[in-house]
Amino acid sequence: MTENPAQIPGRIKELREILEISAAEMAADINVPPETYSKYENGEADIPISVLYHIAAKLGTNVTVLMTGEDPRMESAAVCRKDKGVQIERYPGYEFSSLAYNFIGRTMEPLLVTLDSSRPAAALVAHSGQEFNYVVQGTMKIAVGKAEYVLARGDSVYFDATLPHGQSAVDGTAQFITIIQE
């Protein structure tokens, strides 16, 4: 399932307005400056996945609803077939596929991320929780805090996601599984 990331801000705004939450209140509750929140909601800035979780919590919904417009349906197990995850291009050259989008009440977010070295690297991000990355194809560089690591197929890294971090492909395309736990 491919999802248009331009639809996410509209879903957020619609739910916020239905719940009669002001944009200023939302910004304060998710701990971002009002100007930044406005850019998120107007589609002028990409919304980090961790911020999507905070917005979903404030709106009393699941992040899947924000990404797809549909509620997750599975309670005991959710199978995601090859190439069937919710796919969203987050930043140029950085695409992800949510692998458990249909599981109700998940406490972590497993994603298949594809990076393209011909595109500019995304800005570093930081969010609550911890993160695990496992390289399944190619070679990638990851910055975590002040350190940088080059990882090849089969390599992995587990880190404190409150540190600024970001990944980029080295020479071509790289894919990795990331598991984010808030």
Listed by start position, the domains of the chain span 7-68, 86-181
* 89 vs 113: CA distance, rounded Å: 10
Q: Answer whether residue 93 shows pLDDT above 70.
A: no
For range 5-26, the mean pLDDT: 90
* 53 vs 12: CA distance, rounded Å: 12
86-181 is a CATH 2.60.120.10 domain: yes
C-beta separation of 83 from 89 below 8 A: no
Domain 7-68 shares a fold with domain 86-181: no
Of 3-12, 18-27, 153-162, 172-181, where does mean pLDDT reach its minimum? 3-12
Q: Which CATH class is domain 7-68?
A: mainly alpha
Instruction: Give the ranges where 60-129 is alpha helix by DSSP (H).
Output: 63-68
Please give the share of the chain, as a percent, with pLDDT higher than 70. Answer: 93
Mean pLDDT of the chain: 88
Q: Answer whether residue 134 shows pLDDT above 50.
A: yes
143-168 burial by CB neighbour count: b if 16+ within 10 A, else e?
bbeeeeeebeeeeebebebeeebbbb
Question: 96 Cβ partners below 8 Å, 6+ apart?
Answer: 49, 87, 88, 90, 111, 112, 113, 114, 178
Q: Answer whether residue 19 shows pLDDT above 80.
A: yes
Neighbours of 5 (CB within 10 A): 15
Question: What's the maximum distance between 2 C-alpha atoms anywhere in the chain?
Answer: 48
The three-state secondary structure class of 77 is coil
Q: Beta strands 108-116 and 156-160: pairing type?
A: unpaired
Instruction: Please write the tens of the pLDDT for every residue from 26-78.
Output: 999 999 999 999 999 998 888 877 788 889 889 999 888 888 888 888 888 98
Question: 116 Cβ partners below 8 Å, 6+ apart?
Answer: 93, 94, 169, 172, 173
